[in-house]
């Protein structure tokens, strides 16, 4: 286990993960603190925990802690995609983690080669269980994303979250989150079938 502070665990990345990840920050320009999030951060955490071998991601998502501006000059090659979450800067990393939908996504990587995750995120991955990262009920979008991640990473959905998911009908989710479901269906051949099976 890495160093802990305020419910956040810090791990130091080692090569080849560190070299692959840190190189991506050269193309992000901000007066804040850029952080890699999303799939690339999840893959890095799984590698650090020894749960999966490192595989270089095609998609790179960033957010910014503090700062007043952000831009990028990276031109992706092939199927690579680079996105920067920028509506307003998060004042702290803890604030960013509070805006995340699912516990498995409370992960971020810094330009200095450190990976940060909440204790809940580390626990969720080790137990291979998806749960909400916030109090309350799941939104339609969170319900669809929970099913997507359960399929992608072969994870169980926590009972309380599964109850929320099953509170929606397939018709309702397909109407409210049609484009998201379509996107996942193109990526996962049996996504709609799994969705129908879970919802009953």
109-143 pLDDT, tens digit per residue, is 999 999 999 999 999 999 999 999 998 999 999 99
- Average pLDDT value for the chain: 89
Whole-angstrom Cα Rg for the chain: 17
Question: Is 72 or 108 the better-scoring residue by pLDDT?
Answer: 108
24-42 pLDDT, tens digit per residue, is 888 788 889 999 999 999 9
Name the CATH code of domain 3-127 (choices 1.10.150.130, 2.40.110.10, 3.40.50.740, 3.30.460.10): 3.30.460.10
Tell me the backbone φ, ψ of residue 199, rounded to 5 degrees. Answer: -80, -15
pLDDT number for residue 13: 92
Expressed in angstroms, the distance from the first to the final Cα of the chain is 40
43-68 pLDDT, tens digit per residue, is 999 999 999 888 888 888 899 998 88
């Amino acid at each position: 286990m890495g160093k802990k502070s305020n419910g956040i665990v810090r791990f130091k990345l080692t090569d080849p993960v560190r070299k692959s990840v840190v190189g991506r920050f050269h193309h992000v320009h901000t007066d804040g603190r850029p952080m890699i999030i999303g799939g690339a951060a999840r893959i890095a955490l799984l590698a650090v925990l020894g749960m999966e071998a490192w595989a270089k991601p095609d998609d790179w998502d960033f957010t910014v802690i503090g700062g007043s501006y952000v831009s990028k000059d990276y031109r992706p090659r092939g199927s690579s995609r680079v996105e920067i979450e920028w509506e307003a800067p998060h004042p702290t990393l803890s604030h960013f983690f509070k805006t995340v939908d699912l516990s498995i996504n409370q992960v971020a990587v810094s330009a200095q080669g450190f990976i940060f995750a909440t204790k809940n995120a580390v626990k969720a991955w080790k137990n291979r269980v998806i749960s909400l990262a916030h109090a309350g009920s799941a939104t339609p979008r969170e319900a669809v994303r929970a099913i997507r991640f359960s399929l992608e990473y072969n994870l169980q959905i926590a009972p309380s979250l599964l109850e929320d998911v099953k509170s929606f009908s397939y018709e309702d989710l397909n109407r409210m989150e049609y484009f998201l479901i379509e996107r996942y269906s193109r990526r996962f051949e049996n996504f709609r079938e799994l969705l129908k099976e879970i919802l009953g």
